[in-house]
Amino acid sequence: MQIYSFPTFNLTKILLTAEETGEPYTLNLLDLTQGEHKSEPHVARHPLGKVPAVEVDGKNYFESNAICRFIAERNDYKLYGNSPEQRALINQWADMATLHIGKWLTVMFYERKIKPVFFSGETDLSAVEEAETFLAQQLPPFENQLKQTEFIAGDAYSIADIIAFSYFSTAAHSGVDLSSYPKISQWLENIKARPSYAKAMSHLPGNDIFALLNQQ
């Protein structure tokens, strides 16, 4: 598997999934400053010129959650349950993390970190306030689920954990306080302690998906 991306939390999803399943891969880091993600070869991989995208056996695939499912299915459904019922639970929590909590964590990350650091823009305080309002509603159910099960979709680590973790990993860089959510905080630390996390980060400059941000 050839992975094409630049460092982004969506890349984290794919790297962790590949490391956990044993999917062999080569990471090809694109130069954002040179517009390589908008080049003709990359637009052939992702029609919107976004990242990440992967190439497997001469075919291209995009959208990080879809790629995670693809990798899991290629490897005997590892990380993706043993039945339609288990996969439904995994999918529902992965979708909740993406479409709800992840949406607002991304708003916070963009407004408080990406916009001012890379675009010299001012944080939209109304957008931040809206995100905080929704996170206050959506984080407690996630916390409650982790009080009942070791991982978010049950007692087995799955791509739902990987997908959700990748969004939650932005919190420390955008001032989102998770101290009121001890189960979420412990769950994040447990994932960081897995060997797959260190292996995945070792492919990146500074051994950290956010290394470039930390230099700013």
Which range (109-118, 130-139, 167-176) has the least confidence? Answer: 109-118
pLDDT-derived band of residue 213, with 50, 70 and 90 as boundaries?
A: confident
- What pLDDT does residue 118 have? 82
- pTM here is 0.96
Q: What is the pLDDT of residues 73-131, one digit of tens each?
A: 999 999 999 999 999 999 999 999 999 999 999 999 999 999 998 888 899 999 999 99
| Burial annotation 174-188 (CB, 10 A radius, 16+ → b, else e) | bebeeeebebbbebb
pLDDT at 162 over 70: yes
Which domains occur in the chain, in start order? 2-78 (3.40.30.10), 84-196 (1.20.1050.10)
Average the pLDDT over 52-58 and give the result: 97
- What pLDDT does residue 216 have? 56
Which parts of the chain fold into alpha helices (H)? 9-21, 40-45, 64-74, 84-96, 102-109, 115-118, 125-148, 159-168, 182-192, 195-201, 211-214
Q: What is the pLDDT of residues 179-189, one digit of tens each?
A: 999 999 999 99
Average the pLDDT over 172-176 and give the result: 94
Q: For residues 159 and 68, is the Cβ–Cβ distance under 8 A?
A: yes
- What pLDDT does residue 42 have? 97
